[in-house]
Structure 1
Amino acid sequence: MQKIKFIFKLLLAIATLFFTYIYISSIYVLPWEKQEAIEATIEMGGLDELPQGIKNLSIKKRGSIFTRQYIIEFELDNAKEIDNWIKRSKRLKDNIPKIKGNTKTFEIYPGENDSYGGEVEINDNKIRIDMSWS
């Protein structure tokens, strides 16, 4: 009986470690993590809150226990709202973007609060925010 209890506890510990690893390394942001991911990305990039009226919001995460990268993509039909968001964002308003075709890329290195930083890409009405910390 003691041996069975030991084996059961060992298997439970291994399963717990396995599922913890899967949860941490998953690229998908679960519904209860969404707001935290947005807030962390905004804070790391010195950005203003996401504008109202965004469409097709997509949030991905990468990294491990020691590193984290958030990629937020969305669309905004109102070009003026995009410009206002840039002007309200601490790290974008005085940042001169690299322009290639229709894409403006704002580099933010280093990021806020000791984060590594990243970049914000704006292509017409599509916005991609990519921020990291380690």
Structure 2
Amino acid sequence: MARRRTIVVWVVVAMVVLAGSAIAAYVYGRYASYESALDTTREWAQLDDFPASATDIRVEAKGSMFTREFVVTFTAPLDDINAWLDSSPGTAGVTPAADGAIRKYDIQPGGGAAHAELEVDDAQETVRIRTYWS
């Protein structure tokens, strides 16, 4: 009876360790994918690191094995956004198209991307970056 109890305890411990490892791998994988998507977006749109004041950073990844698209949004003070745009190779020297409070930058894509664009909503102090490879 004691031997059976010991085996059951070891099986339960093994299951807990495996479940914990699976959860940790999932969390790490999601974080690594998030960071990879941000890095790829910056490379494809030829952008510097986002302003230190950026908040509410969101990443949306779309596509299949033949295409990949990233849409990244964030909020930051307008002065920080403008300084970041001036220092980023993809937007420096580009005159944006204006539509009310929204400025749209058509960016020469880098890193093998097919398209890159960036919109700034001056009223909301938000940035939306869309880039894709196909």
What band does the TM-score fall into relative to the shorter chain? 0.7 to 0.9
Paired residue type of 1:85: W
C-alpha distance in 2 between matches for 1:55 and 1:65: 31
RMSD, aligned CA: 1.4
Instruction: Tell me the equivalent position of 2:98.
Output: 99
Instruction: Tell me the equivalent position of 1:25.
Output: none
Count of residue pairs brought into register by the alignment: 104
Paired residue type of 2:119: E
Instruction: Tell me the equivalent position of 1:89.
Output: 88
Instruction: Tell me the equivalent position of 1:121.
Output: 119
Is the 2:96–2:106 Cα contact (8 Å) retained in structure 1? yes
Instruction: Tell me the equivalent position of 1:18.
Output: none
Is the 2:107–2:115 Cα contact (8 Å) retained in structure 1? yes
Instruction: Tell me the equivalent position of 1:55.
Output: 55
1:30, distance to aligned residue in structure 2 (A): 3.0
User: Structure 1: which 5+ residue stretches go unaligned?
Assistant: 1-28
1:33, distance to aligned residue in structure 2 (A): 0.7
State the structure with more CA Rg: 2
Instruction: Tell me the equivalent position of 2:37.
Output: 37
C-alpha distance in 2 between matches for 1:43 and 1:93: 15
